[in-house]
């Protein structure tokens, strides 16, 4: 079975931010001490898509990428899209932010 993620594109002027999260964590909140991440429908709840080459082409085209979840982050590491050292774990869930300058 193909693993899927929610993908939502946010555009403000010339900046494109893409938020992506694993299918099973949308709407949940994760905490670790003072760190907290809310996987809100309003920010992440866009189109449900498979984790595939087309998704990573879309992510590569963004100025900013915000991803959360074990499935999407592990695939991003496997593809060399992000280094493992760039992953923050909050409440047991991996989170990555990428900003292209």
Give the start-to-end residue ranges of the domains of the chain.
4-99
Indicate if the pLDDT at residue 101 is higher than 90.
no
CATH of the structural domain 4-99, one choice from 3.30.465.10, 3.40.50.880, 3.30.1860.10, 3.40.50.720: 3.30.1860.10
Tens-place pLDDT, residues 19-70: 999 999 999 999 999 999 999 999 999 999 999 999 999 999 999 999 999 9
Residues 71-90, mean pLDDT to the nearest whole number: 97
Q: CB of 79 within 8 A of CB of 71? A: no
Instruction: Tell whether pTM > 0.85.
Output: yes
Q: CB of 7 within 8 A of CB of 47? A: yes
- What pLDDT band is residue 2 in, cutting at 50, 70 and 90? confident
pLDDT for residue 1: 65
Indicate if the pLDDT at residue 17 is higher than 80.
yes
Tokens linked to 57: 């082409």
> Which of 94, 92, 93, 91 lies closest to 82 in space, CA to CA?
94
As a whole number of Å, the CA-based R_g of the chain is: 13
């Amino acid at each position: 079975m193909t693993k899927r993620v929610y993908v939502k594109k946010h555009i403000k002027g010339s900046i494109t931010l893409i938020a992506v999260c694993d299918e099973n964590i949308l709407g949940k909140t994760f905490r670790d001490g003072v760190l907290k991440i809310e996987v809100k429908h309003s920010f992440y709840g866009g189109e449900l898509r498979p984790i595939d080459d087309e998704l990573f082409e879309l992510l590569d085209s963004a100025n900013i990428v915000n991803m959360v979840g074990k499935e999407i982050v592990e695939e991003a590491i496997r593809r060399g899209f992000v280094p493992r050292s760039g992953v923050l774990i909050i409440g047991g869930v991996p989170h990555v932010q990428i900003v292209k300058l």
